[in-house]
């Protein structure tokens, strides 16, 4: 059973996928959003881009951050949450005219299932397949599924299946935005000693020494890592653990002052209250999927 988010009313979705603690509603900009509440946490997931908009364990401040200036417009990426960058990360490798970060984050995904797990968590499945529009940008047959599990831990699993008769190669990201109390008091652990590509410094390569701190515009691809990252947020006195699977690169991003002012869908002063720590397949971390095979890109987010 599947139902699209654009051509199906929220009433129809609620009737098709009737599950305790799950309600499909008309959200900001009229976008269809799944609102989830269970004994463990609350969350919101937009069908546009299969974008997780919110996650908060019971008794905790919101973990996922969305800009107050985000534009909730069909066909446009949401600024914040966990946008899905696929089938390429960043600029297209050979055609600058194609959209940055691919088409998955701006596509309308379909609801393919909603259920509860044995521990009382809630699982929402959203799907996206190839079409004339996707093949005009990326000429491959595929079936993608985003599985969002809301419980004590938020898990987002991007499953990409090759339904064609030839291998394809892709990159991507679960572009997670996290809310923090004060970016000046944030330390990101788990990347010490790693080589990284600094996109702000014209893609030069450096080695990380100690925890990552943010003192200016930051856009880095950390290489050769499948380790957890821990965001130590001194402002809100908490630690956010970002675990992952199917990823050998991690991206850390904060636009800082000037870049924030250049982004129309990002508040000028909001760089103080967010950081991106992203589970990625980026740079040389490219994934080749043979016909009939699949790749899982998974992030698991918890508060300590």
Q: Which of 65, 63, 79 is nearest to 29 (CA)?
A: 79
Radius of gyration of the chain (CA): 18
Among residues 125, 176, 174, the alpha carbon closest in space to that of 149 is found at 125
The reply to whether 175 belongs to the active site is: yes
For the question of residue 92 being annotated catalytic, the response is: no
Contact indicator for 264, 293 with CB cutoff of 8 Å: no
Catalytic residue among 278, 294, 296, 304: 278
How far is 221 from 214, CA to CA, in rounded Å?
15
Q: Among candidates 219, 289, 215, 211, which has minimal Cα distance to 250?
A: 219
Q: Cα–Cα distances in Å, from 19 out to 38, 122, 283?
A: 11, 9, 40
Residues paired with 253 in a beta bridge: 219, 276
List 40, 42, 101, 175, catalytic entry: 175
| Closest by Cα among 249, 276, 236 to 260 | 276
Q: Measured between alpha carbons, how far is 176 from 28 in angstroms, rounded to an integer?
A: 20
Show which residues are catalytic: 175, 278
């Amino acid at each position: 059973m599947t139902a699209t988010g654009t051509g199906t009313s929220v009433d129809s979705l609620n009737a098709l996928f009737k599950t305790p603690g799950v309600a499909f509603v008309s959200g900001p900009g009229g976008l269809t959003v799944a609102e989830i509440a269970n004994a463990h946490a609350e969350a919101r997931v937009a069908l546009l881009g299969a974008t997780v908009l919110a996650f908060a364990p019971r008794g905790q401040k919101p973990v996922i951050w969305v800009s107050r200036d985000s534009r909730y417009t069909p066909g446009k990426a949401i600024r914040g949450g966990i946008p899905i960058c696929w089938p390429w990360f960043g600029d297209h490798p050979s055609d600058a005219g194609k959209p940055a970060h691919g088409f998955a984050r701006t596509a309308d995904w379909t609801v393919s299932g909603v259920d509860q797990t044995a521990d009382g968590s809630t699982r929402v499945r959203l799907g996206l397949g190839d079409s004339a529009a996707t093949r005009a940008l990326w000429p491959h047959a595929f079936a993608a599924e985003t599985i969002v599990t809301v419980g004590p831990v938020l898990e987002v699993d991007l499953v990409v299946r090759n339904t064609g008769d030839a291998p394809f190669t892709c990159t991507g990201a679960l572009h997670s935005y996290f809310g923090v109390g004060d970016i000046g008091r944030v330390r990101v652990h788990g990347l010490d000693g790693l080589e990284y590509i600094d996109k702000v410094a014209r893609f030069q390569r450096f080695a990380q020494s100690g925890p990552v701190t943010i003192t200016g515009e930051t856009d880095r691809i950390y290489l050769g890592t499948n380790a957890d990252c821990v965001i130590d947020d001194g402002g809100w006195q908490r630690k956010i653990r970002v675990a992952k699977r199917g990823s050998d690169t991690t991206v850390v991003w904060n636009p800082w002052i000037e870049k924030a002012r250049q982004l129309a869908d990002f508040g000028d002063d909001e760089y103080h209250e967010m950081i991106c720590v992203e589970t990625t397949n980026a740079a040389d971390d490219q994934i080749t999927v043979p016909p009939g095979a699949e790749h899982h890109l998974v992030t698991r987010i918890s508060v300590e």
